[in-house]
Amino acid sequence: MKRAYMDHAAATPVRPEVLEAMLPFFAERFGNPSAVYDLGSEIKAVMEEQRGKVARLIGARDNEIIFTSSGAEANNLAIKGMALATFLKRGKHLIVSGIEHHSVLNSARFLEKFFDFEVTFLPVDRYGRVDPERLQKALTPATVMVSIGHGSNEIGTLQDIPALVAVCQAAGVPFHTDAVATVGQVPVEVTELGVDLLTISGPALGAPKGIGALYFRNKLRLVPQLNGGIQENGRRGGTENIPGIVGLGTAAELAGRELSEKAVYLAKLRDRLVAGVQEHIPHVFYTGHPEKRLPGHASFCFEGIEGEALIFLLSSQGIYANTGSACASKALKTSPVLGAIGIKPDVAQGSMVFTLSRDTREEEVDHVLAHLPPAVERLRSFSPVWRKKMAEAGGA
C-alpha cells in the first residue's frame, strides 16, 4: 500500500545527518559541560559551537540563544520569564493573539490566574492576521509584553511581524514571537523582524523531540522557570541535553543551506494539492491566508463531515494528516483558531490540515488526491443533515 505522511507539523523524522552527528554524544562523548576537567570542557566547546549554528540560522548572536527542552518550554520561559521580571516596574498587562499555541495561551492564563495579570486576547481577521492598529489600541502603560506567533501551524497564515513590532517599539513594549512553524520553512532574521524574543523547536527542523531554543535580545531580563544550577547563564537549570543540542545545531545548519530551494519546492507541492482539492471536492473552505502562508501547509474545512472520521478513513489508505493543532486534536472540541477566523462550528468540525516536508513527493500528493475526494463523498453520504442540505439546495 502506498503511503503519504502529511502531518509534519505534529511529528517529523530525525534527519539521518542529524542522527549521525548525535550518536557519539550518547556514549563515547558523555561528559558534563559544567565539569572543569578536559572531558567537560570539550563538551562545553561542542555545545557552544551548536549555539552558534542556531544563532546563525536566525541572524542572532551566540549569547542570545537559550537551549530548552521544547518550543513549549521556550514559550513558557518567554511569557512567564519576561512578565515576572518586569511587572514591578511596568505593570500587569499582557497581550497575545487569540490564535496562539496553547503554550502561549496557557502561560498567559497562568499569569492571569495566579499573579492577577490582565490579559488581552487580540482578535484576528478572516485570514488569521492581527491588525497593527488594533494592537496599538490595546497597548496600555501597564503592558509588559506582546506575544504574537510568526506563523500558524493550524491555518498556515504568516503574520506581518515587522509591522506589529513597530507598534510595540514605539511604545517601548517588548515583543515575543513563536516561530516554531516558520524557522527553517521561510527566512527568519531577528534583526529584520525586530523581535525581542523568538521561539524555536528542534523537531520542526528535523532534530529529535526534546530540544528547542529561545532567542532573547541582549540585556533583557528573564526569571528562570526551571530553577537549578548556573546552566544557560543561570536562565535555565539542569544539565544540558547535549545529544539534543548537537541535533538541533546540525539541523539548523542544514536548514540554512536548504532554505530557499526547500521553500520553492514545498510551495509547488502545496499548490498542487490545493488545486486538486478545490477542483474535485465541492463545498470546501481553504483556511488561512491564500498567499501569505507557510509554503508546505494546506488546511481545509469540508462541509458535512467530521474531521476525525476522515482521518481514520484516510489512514486506511496510508494517508496521514490531522484535524488541526496536534496539541489539541484529542480534545474533540471546535478549534478556537477556526472560530476566531469566523468558520461556523458545524463547518469547523470538518477541518483537515496537511503539512509537507522536504521528503514529500508528487506521488504522495497524487495519492491523497486519488483518495480524499471519494472519502469525503462517502462520509457525506452517511450524513442525513448533509443529504437534507443537498436536497434543499437542489429544490431551490
In the Cβ-directed half-sphere of 209, how many Cα atoms lie within 13 Å?
A: 6
Three-state SS at 158: strand
Q: Active site residue: 85, 220, 223, 327, which one? A: 327
- d(Cα 157, Cα 127) in Å, to the nearest integer? 7
Residues in the chain: 396
What cell was used for 336?
478556537
Answer yes or no: are the C-beta atoms of 96 and 119 closer than 8 Å. Answer: yes
Decide: helix, strand or coil at residue 377: helix
Strands 212-216, 65-68: pairing is antiparallel
- Residue 209 makes CB contacts below 8 A (sequence gap 6+) with 11, 70, 202, 203
Closest CA relative to residue 97, chosen from 142, 70, 72, 132:
132
Query: How many CA atoms lie within 13 Å of 142's alpha carbon, on the beta-carbon side?
Result: 10
Contact 8, 298 (CB under 8 A): no
Report how far apart, in Å, the C-alpha atoms of 97 and of each of 130, 131, 179 are.
7, 10, 14
Handedness of CA 38, 41, 47, 49 (dihedral sign): negative
CB 232 within 8 A of CB 201: no
- Is 168 catalytic? The answer is no
Active-site amino acid positions: 327
